[in-house]
Structure 1
Amino acid sequence: MGKYSQDAKELLRLVGGKSNIAAVTHCVTRMRFVLNDPGKADVKNIESMKTVKGTFTQAGQFQVIIGNAVSEFYKDFTEEAGIEGVSKDSVKQAAKKNQNLLQRGVAVVAEIFAPLIPAIIVGGLILGFRNCIDSMYIFENGTKTLCDISQFWKGIDSFLWLIGEAVFHMLPVGICWSVTKKMGTTQMLGIVLGLTLVSGQLLNAYSVASTAAADIPFWDFGFFKVDMIGYQAQVLPAILAALTLVYLERFFRKITPQVVSMIVVPFFSLVLSVIAAHFILGPIGWKIGSAISSVVYAGITGSFKVVFGAVFGFVYAPLVITGLHHMTNAIDLQLIADYKGTMLWPMIALSNIAQGSAVLAMCFLQRKKADAQEVNVPACVSCYLGVTEPAIFGVNLKYAFPFVCGMIGSSVAAVISVATKTAANAIGVGGIPGILSIKPASMLSFAAGMAAAVVIPFILTLIVGKKKGIGAEQEEETKTEVETDLKAYVSGKVIPLKDVKDGVFSEGVMGEGLAVLPDEGTVYAPASGTISVVMEESKHACGISLENGMELLLHIGIDTVAMGGAGFEYRITQGQKVKAGDPLIKFDREKIKKAGYSDAVICVMPEQGNTENLKIYTGMQAKAGETVVVSFDHKGGTDND
């Protein structure tokens, strides 16, 4: 049995069983399901599982956030379910049946840009660093930059542009490659097509606006002419050209005999797609992209820019839930190409920060609840670094009000951003590091927006959270549940663990502990905590997680798992909160003995959590709920000290 077998079995039940799973895979932190009937998933109980950090549905997939242990959990899940996992691409294909036309379109755009994001982030960081050394006039009374006074830094600035130019000016190459990769056609042809869009023979796209019409170079075919214009940093022309290449290659591969396929298919596919790109699709794509960016730019800079900023800042986080936020990548890049900067990206970075600040408030409200902090802290950090999903799905949506408070803070921050014309040179760097992508002249105004994105959601979440009793609830739990001892969990004689006739327990393989030779047939909770493990079939054991991080395993008898649950009755369920003295399991001592097994009730501590000076008491006759069998101190002290 694997480490997560029991949880995997429970998750299988809660998603509707094997018959409800059309496909399943996993990524770095999540289980990704395509469910035949999404309505059968018991979301509430799934999210109450200790191993689950949150759930959400996106792009037709039901995703369960597990965390870093997802690969091990996935292995146990597929074994318990008796199904084979599939690739991520297969899951995406299966998920399409749960998507509408808009969702499919957004998914395509997202999948095109996903492989490019790491390079775009690197490019953004490089341009941000170059901003700091070649555009910030902070030397010699504000008249010179670092590059002006240092040849070394001037050389660094020039060298780094090699990378920046490759990322942003040559973006169509990456887009054409990504489209052919996604569509399963020849990627090298995509790269060549992209290179024809940014060739040095063409007039650079950035120079078109400043070049007189009569000076624009052209191809002269005698009876018609075509302008020789490049598409550096252009998004839509590259996507349209690449899709044309894909469908041409599929068409020629289908009609061409195999014997000449290697010659005919690539030749006609590439030549025709390059012709289409420069004669038709490029100019059309440029105009459509420019029209979209013009509308967005007008909204950001026009008479109603404050309203635009307020609305965009408020709705961006909900867009993340739907996946529609991926569309902004293309718009941002088009704005940069057309206007030498984007005012959209700063608002996106501020939205990241606002959601992170709401989580920061939850960290404060739940500061004494260790299991909540396991989710809160990493979610807050990742959100401040620009990755919002753990914060949104793992914390803010779970409680709802932090999500709304983050939206309000984001809205105010976005108003500050557009009102001060805050613009970025690049995209990809979100959250607090996003300031590196901001134009030097806008850094102070972006900092003002950051302050609003930090303070407003934090204070609002704190106020609402306290009104909802979250802070008081946690303090009360700390006072009532933080204990410094374990009481006898069954009446009887307490014996050392080494006296138990079992190699695993008696040798301490599972951890330190003790055993009780019972006088009665009920096991009680030795301390307050959460039921973390149940054995649905055998019912002979359970696990309890305490607030201090200690893990307890209570096990009735030796080898009693073989009884298949006969003589055992649970009084608890997975995820249930229990207090010291609550009944956990009833067991029939006579049935156990007749089956030839010992009825010794064992308690081991696989994890000792935030404790020190642990002492175990044995050799006495104990009374359940009264006799102390284990005592310990809390590291760093407690409110009960």
Structure 2
Amino acid sequence: MDYKKIAREVLENVGGKDNIASAAHCVTRLRLVLKDTTKCDKTVIENIEGAKGVFFNSGQLHVVFGTGLVDMVYAAFIEEAGIKESSLEDVKIEGKKNGGKLKEMFKAFSDIFVALIPGIVGCAMILGLRAILMTSGLFGLETTLAKTYKWASDLSSFFNIIATGLNFLPVFIMYSATKRFGGNPVLGIIIGLVLIHPELGNRFDFLQGKLPDVSYWNFFGINIPEVAFQGGVFPAILTSLFLAKFEKFLTKRVPQILSFILVPTLTIIVSAAALFLVFGPLGDVIASGLGFVIELLYIKGGVVGAFVFAAVLQPLVITGTHHAIGGIEAQLIASTGFNYIQPLWAVSIIAQGGACVGMFLLAKKKSKRREIAISSFIPTLVGVSEPAIFAVNIKDSIIPFACAVLGAGFGGAYMRIFSVKALGFGLTGIPGVTIVNPPVMIHYVIGNIVAFSLTILFIIIYDKLKGVPGAHE
């Protein structure tokens, strides 16, 4: 494959080097910010060798090439265009000039949690290993491994200690969010530690009325309960935004000679006050509201609610509003120790992979559509659905995507019936098995097979009845 030729053809059809504001790439996509989007010929780009799809999102042109190939194309592209490498953050900032505030807000959620996912996944996997030691009936035992063997008991205790990162999640969120919003992340850590200070009362007990003897601070007639914000995902994010803005405000106004002392001191005091007075209670309201919606859909809605929940996740991906889900998952982990959204994510993504396989089966042998379909399916196995969606499932019609949405719904219903939950978030597909609660791991696998298989079946049935547009080309 001639990467330079591919890069040259892309460059020619986006308006040339003078029309490039910035360029970067992610795992599967070349991401460009164009000065004039009207100069872009999407139809021609879609037919360039290796290209699997083209779409605009958040002020950026995304050209889907797939894992590995995109690295080669990007290297050739920046050389051909004669531009310097840009980070994804640079491209995001440039793209925001053409993007809406709502999309920017949802994207901020994603940025905050992306940096935390490796740590969260690691801790979740350790807790999964501990769960194996603590689950009765495994390996032919009447009780647990931990109760049967001293080494297993000690290992279980050790795992519980080293997976403690999940107990300090608000601290990590404060760090990541403060950094994302342009503040000093060390100050974010300090306020994050305030969120979970051991001398403060337990927030969950306080909200449920289980702390009748709670103490209060009284500042100028305002009573503030001496209660922490364990599980305070949204208080952490809101306070981080305030901290970053307030620190910048002070930096511009405090005399240089006093800045080193006054800026961090005042930022900590005012941000902590804002946490207890405004953003903590407001975060509780947001968390309660989201909790109500989730409870309505998943708990009270039962199988039907889980069907709807799983079905709508990939439509959210198209709109870009799915980034907020990470915050909800983090809230679930912090407050309950489990995440029942992860299995729903898994079936929603693998169903899109099923749609690719369905379109592969319908396409002509040795056609480019087959090649694109199968190469777009592979990323869904590791939790990446965008190539499948944009390169195949909505390319010629909405039918494959709709069949996948329906298949995901049934997969979600299966996950609800067998109470499949994860111990972390950020991993789906095959890697997602590692963070699923061990006693229901088999049902995680079956649920994904259900979503995958039903999607293929729905596409074939629809094609027999009415014909799927573009399927037989």
TM-score by length of 2: 0.87
Aligned to 1:147: 146
2:233 is aligned to 235
Counterpart contact for 1:203–1:229, Cα < 8 Å:
yes
1:5 and 2:4 aligned: yes
Q: Which residue of 1 aligns with 2:124?
A: 124
- Match in the other structure for 2:65: 66
Question: Which moves more between the two structures, 438-447 or 70-79?
Answer: 438-447
Aligned mates of 1:367, 1:340 — CA distance in 2 = 48
Q: Please give the secondary structure, in 2, of the residue aligned with 1:62.
A: strand
Could you tell me which residue of structure 1 aligns to residue 182 of structure 2? 184
Contact 1:290–1:334 (CA under 8 A) maintained in structure 2: no
Structure 2 counterpart of 1:120, which letter? I
| Equivalent pair of 1:171/1:233 in contact (CA under 8 Å) | yes
Task: Summarize deviations over 1:583-636 as a string: whole Å, max 9, x none.
Answer: xxxxxxxxxxxxxxxxxxxxxxxxxxxxxxxxxxxxxxxxxxxxxxxxxxxxxx
Q: CA deviation at 1:87?
A: 3.3
**Aligned equivalent of 1:335, options 327, 332, 335:** 332
Counterpart Cα distance in 1 of 2:391 and 2:123: 30
1:370–1:232 distance in 2 versus 1, CA, 3 Å: farther
Structure 1 partner of 2:13: 14
**In the TM superposition, what whole-angstrom CA distance separates every residue of 1:382-440 from its partner, at most 9, and x where no partner exists?**
31222222333344333544333221110111223334544434322212443444445
Question: Which one has a larger percent strand, Structure 1 or Structure 2?
Answer: 1
C-alpha displacement of 1:318: 1.9
Distance in 2 between the 1:273 and 1:128 partners?
36
Q: Is the Cα contact below 8 Å between 2:174 and 2:237 reproduced in 1? A: yes
Q: Is the 8 A contact 2:396 2:470 kept in 1?
A: no
**Alpha-carbon distance in 2 for matches of 1:392, 1:325:** 14
Q: 1:164-209, CA deviations, whole angstroms, 9 ceiling, x for partnerless residues? A: 321x221111111112222222121111221221222233445556
Say which is worse superposed, 285-294 or 414-423, in terms of deviation. 414-423
Equivalent residue number for residue 164 of structure 2:
165
Given residue 64 of structure 1, which amino acid in structure 2 is its aligned partner? V
Of residues 312, 320, 324, the one that matches 1:323 is 320
Whichever residue aligns with residue 257 of structure 2, its letter is V
2:103 aligns with 103
Greater C-alpha Rg = 1
Which letter does structure 2 place at the counterpart of 1:78? I
Instruction: Give the counterpart of 1:308 among 305, 308, 315.
Output: 305
The alpha-carbon deviation at position 463 of structure 1 amounts to 4.8
- Read off the aligned partner of 1:124 and give its amino acid letter: A
TM-aligned CA distance change 1:368 to 1:121, over 3 Å: farther
User: Retained in 2: the 8 A contact 1:290–1:338?
Assistant: no
* Equivalent in the alignment of 1:565: none
- How far did 1:235 drift? 0.9
State the alpha-carbon separation in 2 of the partners of residues 278 and 187 from structure 1. Answer: 20
Q: 1:217 to 1:388 in 2, by over 3 A?
A: farther
Return the alpha-carbon distance in structure 2 between the equivalents of residues 54 and 163 of structure 1.
43
Give the distance between the partners of 1:437 and 1:74, measured in 2 at CA. Answer: 33
> Partners in 2 of 1:444 and 1:5 — Cα distance?
46
**Amino acid of the structure 2 residue aligned with 1:137:** G
The total of aligned residue pairs comes to 469
Task: Indicate conservation of the 8 Å contact 2:117/2:425, yes or no.
Answer: no
| Equivalent-residue separation in structure 2 for 1:121 and 1:237 (angstroms) | 22
Gap regions ≥5 residues in structure 2: none
**SS where residue 398 of structure 1 aligns?**
coil
1:50 aligns with 2:60: no
Aligned to 1:293: 291
Q: Residue type of the partner of 2:388?
A: A
Change (3 A) 1:84 1:446: closer
CA deviations 1:232-284 (Å, max 9, x no partner) are 33210101111121111111101111112111111111121122213432233
Greater Cα offset, 276-285 or 430-439: 430-439
1:153 is displaced (CA, Å) by 2.5
Runs of 5+ consecutive residues of structure 1 not aligned to the other structure: 474-641
Distance 1:192 1:129 in 2: 31
Query: Are the structure 2 counterparts of residues 443 and 184 from structure 1 closer, same or farther at C-alpha, using a change threshold of 3 Å?
Result: same
Partner of 1:245: 243
**SS of structure 2 residue aligned to 1:407:** helix
RCO higher in 1 or 2 (8 Å CA, sep ≥ 6)?
2
Offset at residue 293 of structure 1 (A): 1.1
Q: 1:209 and 1:425 mapped to 2: Cα distance?
A: 24
Q: CA deviation at 1:32?
A: 1.0
Relative to structure 1, is the Cα distance of residues 74 and 471 closer, same or farther in structure 2, using a 3 angstrom cutoff? Answer: closer
Displacement after TM superposition at 1:42 (Å): 1.9
The structure 2 residue matched to 1:418, chosen from 416, 419, 424, is 416
Aligned to 1:262: 260
Amino acid at match of 2:5: Q
* Other structure's SS at 1:199 match: coil
- Superposition pairs for residues 184-223 of structure 1, below 5 Å? 184-205=182-203, 208=206, 212-216=210-214, 218-219=216-217
TM-score by length of 1: 0.66
**Structure 1 range deviating more: 206-215 or 428-437:** 206-215
Instruction: Name the CA shift for 1:154/1:372 in 2 (closer, same or farther; >3 Å).
Output: farther
Aligned-partner SS, 1:31: strand
Q: Is the 8 A contact 1:206 1:337 kept in 2?
A: no
Residues of 2 paired with 1:265 and 1:4: CA distance? 51
The CA deviation string for residues 520-571 of structure 1, in whole angstroms up to 9 with x for no partner, is: xxxxxxxxxxxxxxxxxxxxxxxxxxxxxxxxxxxxxxxxxxxxxxxxxxxx
Distance 1:340 1:180, change over 3 A: closer
93-102 or 379-388, which deviates more: 379-388
TM-aligned CA distance change 1:222 to 1:88, over 3 Å: closer
**Whole-angstrom CA distance in 1 between matches of 2:347 and 2:75:** 38
Change (3 A) 1:455 1:176: same
Alignment of 1:486-635 (within 5 A): none
Question: What's the Cα RMSD here?
Answer: 3.1
Distance 1:290 1:336, change over 3 A: farther
* Rounded Cα–Cα distance in structure 1 between residues aligned with 2:83 and 2:101: 30
Tell me the SS of whatever aligns to 1:233. coil
Comparing both structures, which one devotes a greater share of its residues to helix?
A: 2
SS in 2 for 1:214: coil
Using a 3 Å threshold, how does the CA distance of structure 1 residues 347 and 69 change in structure 2: closer, same or farther?
closer
* Residue 96 of structure 1, CA deviation: 1.3
Matches of 1:340 and 1:25, distance apart in 2 = 37
Q: Report deviation, 1:362.
A: 4.6
Call closer, same or farther: CA 1:20–1:300 in 2, change over 3 Å.
same
